[in-house]
Amino acid sequence: MNIGFIGLGVMGAPMAGHLVDAGHNVVVFNRSRAKIEQLELRGAVGATSPAQVGEKADVVITVLPDSPDVEEVLFGAGRVLTALRPGSLVIDCSTIAPESARDFAARLADRDVAFVDAPVSGGEAGAVAGTLAVMMGGEKDAVRRAGEVLDAMAATTVHVGPAGAGQLVKAANQMLVAGNIAMVAEAVSLLRRTGVEVDAALTVLNGGLAASKVLEVKAPKMLARDFAPGFRVDLHHKDLKIALAAAEQARIAVPLTGVITQLVQALRSAGDGGLDHGALIKALERLNGMSPDSP
């Protein structure tokens, strides 16, 4: 299959790599040439513009930071839509506003191009392992076609509704992940302050009802002060704002999400927006007058 891939960041690069390894003809574009060269060594073809990706591909996948980035790549001058052929498919694996996904789907449909919003969950580790969960919104046939492509990089692909539905499910996902990280950070802070054997405590917590992927993965990194970005604080803040806006439109209260969003904002205000979202423990430590090396 001829697949175009735009956006070779922490998530995008390994995702594109799985498509190459699966034997697809993959043409890639990224603002940083170095990321393109790494995939060229594995068999991908580098492009010099989004339009060139559209010329060579029947399916185009985007993994970009936010709605304006996706819009610019798809619809800007000399961009993907200028070269896409009728009958092509765009799969957007970015996390963007649901209303943006619906708008993009309608605009592409006017040109006989199908669109699936397919945000992913699983973080950098899931992208590298090829075990992502993908929540797909769009028409049934377009979702079927998208699933055939995404199976190379995902363990779970589910059709959750019409265009925009994937983004709504991703908003819920980001609420749950942020809430879990915040509670892990609070629990770890409590254990440290009270002198408990923290490693032993984490072992027993991971064996009971409190067990979670977030507890398993993030707690040891919090203790090791390993905040290398698997998923940046700035991006999670953007996602939580999407969730809050969706809740506002649905006329429901999400008070815990609001509080956690403020904690994340506090991290950004302190200059920690580029760290992994597990750095949320730093916001809790500041509130409690704790340092990394003292109880």
Active-site residues: which are they?
A: 170
The alpha carbons of the chain give a radius of gyration, in whole angstroms, of 20
Helix 165-193, helix 198-205: angle, nearest 10: 140
In order, the DSSP letters of 224-249 are HT----SSBHHHHHHHHHHHHHHHHH
For residue 65, which of 199, 237, 223, 181 has the smallest C-alpha distance? 237
Q: 260 near 182, Cβ under 8 Å?
A: yes
Sorted by sequence, the CB contacts under 8 Å of residue 116 that are 6+ apart come out as: 89, 90, 91, 92, 136, 137, 138, 142, 143, 145, 146, 163, 166
Who contacts 204 (Cβ-Cβ below 8 Å, separation ≥6)?
none
Q: What token pair was written down for 29?
A: 């574009």
Contact 244, 258 (CB under 8 A): yes
